Amino acid sequence: MHTPVRIYEIGLYLRCPRLIFFENLRNDPKKIDVKHILLHSLMLSISQKDDLEGQLRESLARLQEELPLVYEIEKDELELACRELEGEITGIARGLAGQLDLLLPCQAEVDLFSDKLGLFGRLDRLAAGSTPSLIRTGKAPQDGIWKRDRLMLAGYALLLGEKHRTHINQGLVEYPRQGLVRAVEVHSVDRARVLRIRDRIRQIKDGQLPDRPEDAPCRDCEAREICETRHSLASRFF
């Protein structure tokens, strides 16, 4: 029986297939990205449409107290991240204010699993009409959404579609730093590609070290050292 593939791993594969291989070997815990966790948690705290800025500021103060109880976070690092995010709240609230009808009401952090599809994951937000929504804490592209986001969205659409016995043809991607919520169509070609990537991830997890793509983001990669070591060892024998 095949090990199920996480939707997160599809995004990892699209960055570089070798990340799947090294993630599978990882024994040490991943470094916590405080800024990502803080902004992601802040977006999930939105529960009503009135006074969005006040709501976000209140949630930020609460998160500063609560997050150290959940994660092993350095106090100084968290305080710095809170100060930086506090300066962005007015812009975030102004940008999102007219788009809250897309997001609310919602269910936050919805766990999805399909034995049939061999996929599972935790969806950031399930908006009205069973619409999957991803929260992205980085920059939005000039138009549309990033390829990685499109295919991860298609993965969640597959899971939701099987659960509700229908096709989920639309999704959302939230880019809060730019105050954007972008609605996109989920195409059949994207759903099909998710399943092909799922199969490739399974092969990698079974021990097949993939080639490193020419456009791999090696400079800032957390697996760079072990990847280069493996490449050097392989070069000696082939």
- pLDDT band, very low/low/confident/very high, at 3 (cuts 50, 70, 90): confident
Task: For residue 43, tell me if it sits in a domain.
Answer: yes
Domain that holds residue 192: 5-201
Looking up residue 97, the CATH number of its domain turns out to be 3.90.320
Task: For residue 65, tell me if it sits in a domain.
Answer: yes
> Is the model's pLDDT at 85 over the cut of 90?
yes
Range 192-207 average pLDDT: 94
Q: pLDDT tens-digit profile of 6-29?
A: 999 999 999 999 889 888 776 656
**DSSP-assigned letter for residue 51:** S
Task: For residue 219, tell me if it sits in a domain.
Answer: no
Task: For residue 228, tell me if it sits in a domain.
Answer: no
Q: Of all helices (H) and strands (E), which one includes residue 14?
A: helix 7-15
Q: pLDDT tens-digit profile of 163-197?
A: 999 999 999 999 999 999 999 999 999 999 999 99
Q: Of all helices (H) and strands (E), which one includes residue 127?
A: strand 119-127
- pLDDT band, very low/low/confident/very high, at 223 (cuts 50, 70, 90): confident
Task: For residue 226, tell me if it sits in a domain.
Answer: no
Task: For residue 152, tell me if it sits in a domain.
Answer: yes
Question: What average pLDDT does the structure give for the chain?
Answer: 90
Distances (CA, A) of 221 to 23, 151, 171, 228: 12, 21, 29, 11
Q: ω into residue 105 within 30 of 0, thus cis?
A: yes
Q: How many domains in the chain?
A: 1
Task: For residue 182, tell me if it sits in a domain.
Answer: yes
213: left (phi over 0), alpha (psi -120 to 50) or beta: beta
Of 189, 170, 187, 186, the closest CA to residue 126 belongs to 170
Task: For residue 73, tell me if it sits in a domain.
Answer: yes
